[in-house]
């Protein structure tokens, strides 16, 4: 039973951690033959026939090639028949079989070996230093953003029919477990007699980044050429795209929120007036635009007034009711407040004239005597 790591084994933790963080976020190399071999192995290990492997370079490219592979079947179809035609062309999603079963099998095998060979304190230490550290560095924003981009690109009819049930995998969601298992393999705790871990890690290293698994075909997106994040591991960049792909596709994000390039440019270069910022319909877009705006612009709003102000909302933040006039609309009022958990600043439309009444109304309560005991 291993109850203490050597100095060399401890030093290896940061090496393995950094390797997988780099692989998940910054490595751009890919090997087409290794990708195809890895995907076919996944199907073989799941008792499925060898699929056609389609390599794509971005969410847009994936959507284009996915559509091209089924368009002949679906172009004259509508409603539920779209789903039937897509399934006929690419086969059903193999959600419960290809990815989850192989990954879970490898994870269980490594986990059993570690539990049998390593003391609890050492196992917990490596978990925190390797797996949790990789997860904290990589985050979920890339995986979720890529999936959203792909879903947006394929169109409502296909998404409504088959997209939500499609089995998928993303390297940014698997690097954490992979790093942990790789560490135990490298210090000799896990022997990998059937080469399952070797094949699994080989697939992850091949350059396959985001994969959609169908019965007859697997669509494999290669790694992005650029990933930029802020300290919270949200996709974020004020000087370039936050995500870029081999085919030239660029995606712009601020604090994990996606923007069209023209709006991103206006916000990061403070080209919008306070009136334009506060007129943005999307609450998150408006919040970010306001955070990056020169606040002195607020005083230029016609009829700008602070109707009520609270110095401390109980969490160290202030609140204000501000009012101004727009010629085409009339008087506009906002509750300017902060989220006590994230510290994010918001402007919430209101008809109230006191901060506490407006806050209560934002939670669908009517009394300004409502007391907020705890918030999160």
Q: What is the largest CA-CA distance in the chain?
A: 76
With cut-offs at 50, 70 and 90, classify the pLDDT of residue 62: confident
Q: Given this model, what pLDDT does residue 125 score?
A: 95
The H-or-E segment that residue 61 falls in is helix 59-74
Judge contact between 181 and 83, C-beta under 8 A.
Answer: no
Q: Given this model, what pLDDT does residue 361 score?
A: 87
Helices (H) and strands (E) in the chain, counts: 15, 12
Q: Given this model, what pLDDT does residue 187 score?
A: 95
Q: Given this model, what pLDDT does residue 90 score?
A: 55
Quick one: tokens of 12? 């290896």
Beta bridge partners of 52: 217
- Residue 268 reports pLDDT greater than 80: yes
pLDDT (average), residues 46-62: 89
CA distance 258 to 264: 9
Question: Mean pLDDT over all residues of the chain?
Answer: 85
- Residue 73 reports pLDDT greater than 50: no
Q: Given this model, what pLDDT does residue 79 score?
A: 42
Ordered alpha helix ranges (H), the chain: 7-25, 32-45, 59-74, 80-90, 99-117, 120-126, 133-138, 141-154, 156-161, 171-186, 196-205, 261-268, 274-278, 283-292, 355-362
What proportion of the chain, given as a percentage, has pLDDT over 70?
Answer: 85
CA distance 243 to 235: 8
With cut-offs at 50, 70 and 90, classify the pLDDT of residue 144: confident
pLDDT (average), residues 254-282: 92
Which pTM does this prediction carry? 0.76
Q: Given this model, what pLDDT does residue 216 score?
A: 82
Ordered alpha helix ranges (H), 155-215: 156-161, 171-186, 196-205
> Which strands, in side-by-side order, build the sheet including 226-227?
226-227, 243-244, 250-254, 257-259
Judge contact between 70 and 82, C-beta under 8 A.
Answer: no
With cut-offs at 50, 70 and 90, classify the pLDDT of residue 85: low
With cut-offs at 50, 70 and 90, classify the pLDDT of residue 160: low
Quick one: tokens of 273? 């007036």
What proportion of the chain, given as a percentage, has pLDDT over 90?
Answer: 48
């Amino acid at each position: 039973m291993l109850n203490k790591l050597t100095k060399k084994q401890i030093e290896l933790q940061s090496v393995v951690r950094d390797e997988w963080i780099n692989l998940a976020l910054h490595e751009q190399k890919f090997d087409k033959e290794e990708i195809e071999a890895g995907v076919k192995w996944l199907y073989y290990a799941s008792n499925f026939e060898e699929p056609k492997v389609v390599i794509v370079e971005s969410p847009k490219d994936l959507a284009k090639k996915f559509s091209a592979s089924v368009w002949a079947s679906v172009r004259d179809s509508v409603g539920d028949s779209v789903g039937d035609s897509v399934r006929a062309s690419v086969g059903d999603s193999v959600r419960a079989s290809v990815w989850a079963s192989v990954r879970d099998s490898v994870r269980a095998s490594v986990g059993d070996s570690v539990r049998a060979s390593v003391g609890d304190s050492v196992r917990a230490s490596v978990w925190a230093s390797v797996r949790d550290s990789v997860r904290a560095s990589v985050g979920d924003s890339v995986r979720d953003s890529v999936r959203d981009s792909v879903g947006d690109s394929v169109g409502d009819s296909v998404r409504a029919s088959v997209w939500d049930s499609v089995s998928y995998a993303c390297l940014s969601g698997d690097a954490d477990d992979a790093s942990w298992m790789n560490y135990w393999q490298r210090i000799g705790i896990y022997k990998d007699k059937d080469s399952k871990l070797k094949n699994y890690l080989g697939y992850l290293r091949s350059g396959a980044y985001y994969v959609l698994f169908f019965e007859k075909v697997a669509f494999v997106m290669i790694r992005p050429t650029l990933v930029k994040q802020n300290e919270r591991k949200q996709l974020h960049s004020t000087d370039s795209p936050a995500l870029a792909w081999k085919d030239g596709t660029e995606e712009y994000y601020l604090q994990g929120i996606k923007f069209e390039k023209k709006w991103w440019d206006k916000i990061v270069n403070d080209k919008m007036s306070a009136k334009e910022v506060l007129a943005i319909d999307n609450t998150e877009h408006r919040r970010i635009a306001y955070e990056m705006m020169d606040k002195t612009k607020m005083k230029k709003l016609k009829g700008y007034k602070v109707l009520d102000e609270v110095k401390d909302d109980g969490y160290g933040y202030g609140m204000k009711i501000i009012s101004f006039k727009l010629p085409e609309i009339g008087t506009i009022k906002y509750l300017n407040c902060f989220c006590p958990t994230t510290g994010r600043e918001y402007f919430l439309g209101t008809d109230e004239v006191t901060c506490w009444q407006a806050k209560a109304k934002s939670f669908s309560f009517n009394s300004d005597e409502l007391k907020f005991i705890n918030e999160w």
